[in-house]
Amino acid sequence: MEQTNVLTWLASAGGWYDETAMGLQEYPGMGQGAVALRDLEEDTLLFSVPSSLLLSAEHSDLRTHLSSADWKDLVDAGGWTALIMCMMWEDAQGERSRWYGYMRTLPERFDTPMFWSKDDLRWLKGTDILSKVGKTSAEETYETKIVPLLQKYPEVFTPDSSATHRTIPHFSVDDFHVQGSRMLSRSFSVPKETVKPDPMGDVSMQSAGGDDSVDEGGAAIDDAESESGSATAGFVPEQESQDGEPNESLVEDGNDDDEEEEDDDDDDDSEADVEEEVMVPVADILNAAYGLDNAHLSFDDGRCKMITTKRIAKGEQIYNTYGGPSNSYLLRRYGHIDALPLPSVLLKKLSPELRTWPYGNIADDFEISGQDVLEAVVAHWKQTRKGKVTEQEEQAYRKTLLERVDRWLEASGFGDTFVVEYDVEEALDEMIPFVKLLIMDPATFEAGRAKQKIPKAKIEGDDEAKQVVSILKSVLSTQRQGMGAEAKAMLSALEQHVTEPLPLNQYHAYAIGAAIYRLLYVAEKALDEKLKAAVKTAQEKAKSSNSKKRSHTDTMGGSSKKPKAK
């Protein structure tokens, strides 16, 4: 791929950058990144991108070449389909595109699982990544939304003769994946008003980079941030797979995208209504790593400004933040992971085996589906009946459970996917009441329904605690059994990775697998603690009620001895 310097392009296109402050450099394993060319104070403006250079569906001229009905269909196709289509079109415009100098610097290959071979995907067995890659649904979107437009407007979608900077054919399904991946790994979520103003408005260099605005910038930018409510300008973590759909909470089959989107549309305050996904040239050249961010993108006056948030010494890398997500999210969306030394307080909680490769990402997590919990409840129920259950009885029981899941979704304020993090309490606070609701006797369930209540997260009483903990531990154990390799194999391969590097995809998958084993361990320990505490409380309660009974009998002149049978 031909490399042009995106900074030079920015300056020539009406943006501004401080050429004394920031340069570009290759970083091993990261691609390009930004480097401080001199010691930088906090609050230094590094560059400024005018609104007109934000590449969004709103700003691209593609809309002017389609009928308004076709444009509306494209936008209504959901999420990011319109943006991806615009990116394909702008790329094919070659020199005629406003973003030519930017587009030609963007990557064509990615390390995200979307591009892994079938063999490599096997490394991810047991993680929740496989179900979220979204390749099939992206291809369906391509076939149903993109291909009809390509056929209807052949002239609009003929690449310009100057668009020779690409190896992948323009407008092909591979192009759709490439632009989708560019979007996933580099886009920003910005307040809609940022892209609404006339894109051909004031883009003069002075207005983009005037130093006057820099000194006051801090305050003005803070204001802009608090008004927008979300102008962190990080790569917004809520959005997911490449099929043009945000993947927020999981609905039963996990594929009901249309339904989810209709829900989004109905919600006036939804993020989709106030935020727009855009490409912010140059801002997307910054890498990120957990806790290392030292610069931040803000929106002020219709311009995006990258400003340092700390002092940065000459020669150091300038990092943005991607929001500090888990490795499984990073891999899915960006194709890399953070493997940093884990804090000793966490390592101490782990078994010696799980500490052998002491790296990872403290934001790591894994998901447990409500369906897995439900299956464990069914297995537990069968066990209590010693397996003597007819198919009909099982069906009837499952039906009852599904009604309870509905009740949970209505009344709990939680979803039916549970995210287990190192701070495991939050997940347990959701999973425990969920299990309690599923296993409670019908009368208690009906009474709770009448009072609009769901069970508390605390497990009380010996028997309840034992049942809940046993069910949840079996969920964890199923997760463990579903992993592609044993913890020991993963961790020793990771340990040796320094001297005998694993293939990159395997390394990424194993680091994520190791984190799942660690999270399972932490969750199991927490459940054991809860069980211990519940049993102890139950015993103490029983003791105190016995002694109350005894003292009552004593004061009534009775005896604690069993009366002799007459």
Among 3, 5, 12, 31, binds ligand SAM (CB under 6 A): 31
77 CB contacts (<8 Å, ≥6 apart)?
Answer: 141, 145, 244
Nearest to ligand SAM by Cβ — which residue? 31
Query: Shortest Cβ distance from residue 79 to ligand SAM (Å)?
Result: 19
Q: Which stretch binds ligand SAM (CB under 6 A): 30-38, 47-55, 121-129, 143-151?
A: 30-38
Which residue number, 25 or 546, has a Cβ lying nearer to ligand SAM? 25
Task: Region of 127 please: left (phi>0), alpha (psi -120 to 50) or beta.
Answer: beta
By CB under 6 A, residue 104 contacts ligand SAM: no
Query: Shortest Cβ distance from residue 297 to ligand SAM (Å)?
Result: 11
Q: Compute the distance between CA of residue 6 and CA of residue 255 in angstroms, rounded to an integer.
A: 38
Query: Shortest Cβ distance from residue 208 to ligand SAM (Å)?
Result: 21
Which residue number, 32 or 255, has a Cβ lying nearer to ligand SAM? 32
Which residue number, 6 or 124, has a Cβ lying nearer to ligand SAM? 6
What tokens were used for 418?
């549970």
The helix/strand/coil state of 156 is coil
Query: Shortest Cβ distance from residue 189 to ligand SAM (Å)?
Result: 14
Q: Compute the distance between CA of residue 144 and CA of residue 303 in angstroms, rounded to an integer.
A: 36
- Within residues 277-336, the interface with ligand SAM by CB under 6 A covers 284-285, 287-289, 334-336
Neighbours of 134 (CB within 10 A): 24
Q: Which stretch binds ligand SAM (CB under 6 A): 27-35, 224-232, 344-352, 417-425?
A: 27-35
Burial class (CB in 10 A: 0-12, 13-18, 19+), 562: exposed
Query: Shortest Cβ distance from residue 289 to ligand SAM (Å)?
Result: 4
Neighbours of 220 (CB within 10 A): 16
Residue of 491, 177, 553, 557 whose CA lies nearest to 355: 491
The CA-atom distances, in angstroms, between 532 and each of 168, 425, 526 are: 60, 16, 10
Q: Compute the distance between CA of residue 467 and CA of residue 531 in angstroms, rounded to an integer.
A: 10
Q: Compute the distance between CA of residue 162 and CA of residue 100 in angstroms, rounded to an integer.
A: 10
Which residue number, 250 or 312, has a Cβ lying nearer to ligand SAM? 312
Write the interaction track for ligand SAM spanning residues 161-200; mark x where CB under 6 A is met and - where it is not: ------------------------xx--------------
Burial class (CB in 10 A: 0-12, 13-18, 19+), 125: middle
Q: Which stretch binds ligand SAM (CB under 6 A): 28-36, 273-281, 455-463, 530-538?
A: 28-36
Write the interaction track for ligand SAM spanning residues 406-445; mark x where CB under 6 A is met and - where it is not: ----------------------------------------
What tokens were used for 31?
């691609």
Q: Please work out the total of residues on this chain that contact ligand SAM, with binding judged by CB under 6 A.
A: 16
Residue whose entry in the numeric block shows the structure tokens 């991806």: 84
118 CB contacts (<8 Å, ≥6 apart)?
Answer: none
Which residue number, 279 or 475, has a Cβ lying nearer to ligand SAM? 279
By CB under 6 A, residue 30 contacts ligand SAM: yes
Query: Shortest Cβ distance from residue 32 to ligand SAM (Å)?
Result: 4
Amino acid at residue number 470: S
Query: Shortest Cβ distance from residue 319 to ligand SAM (Å)?
Result: 8
By CB under 6 A, residue 29 contacts ligand SAM: yes
Q: Compute the distance between CA of residue 491 and CA of residue 500 in angstroms, rounded to an integer.
A: 13
Binding site for ligand SAM (CB under 6 A): 29-33, 107, 185-186, 284-285, 287-289, 334-336
